[in-house]
Amino acid sequence: MIASIEPDELALVLADDTTPVQLIDVRERQEVEIVAIPQFWVLPLSESHDWVERVMMQFDRDCKTIVMCHHGIRSLHLCQWLQAQGFTDVYNVSGGIDAYAVRVDTSLPRY
């Protein structure tokens, strides 16, 4: 079972620079050009063949890992894959960046 994190909880995580966290945005680059949260690594799901090895080598499997997309569907797929690879603390952003833009930061553009 994949845990989810609500947009308001994500805002608290982003505001806390003392707790280590890995943030992954799996949206396509064109989507990220429209709106992005700077702290996130942009790793488009469609380009996974290019970054899968890097994730396995550079990311800590025991560190809190939060994955985001537009609405929370694509990110769920990566969360499932990460868990299958032994990541122990994985969260999917509920409603994705769209929900974050609605509930937390209304200055962010929506698409």
Q: Torsions phi, psi of 36, nearest 5?
A: -150, 160
Whose structure tokens read 């609500």? 6
Catalytic residue check, 69 = yes
Residue 54 CA, chain-centre distance (Å), reads 16
Which among 69, 79, 90, 97 is annotated as catalytic? 69
Q: What is the C-alpha separation between 98 and 27, in angstroms, rounded?
A: 12
- CB environment 72-107: b (16+ within 10 A), e (fewer): bebbbbbbebbbeeebebbbbbbbbbbbbbeebeee
Catalytically active residues are 69
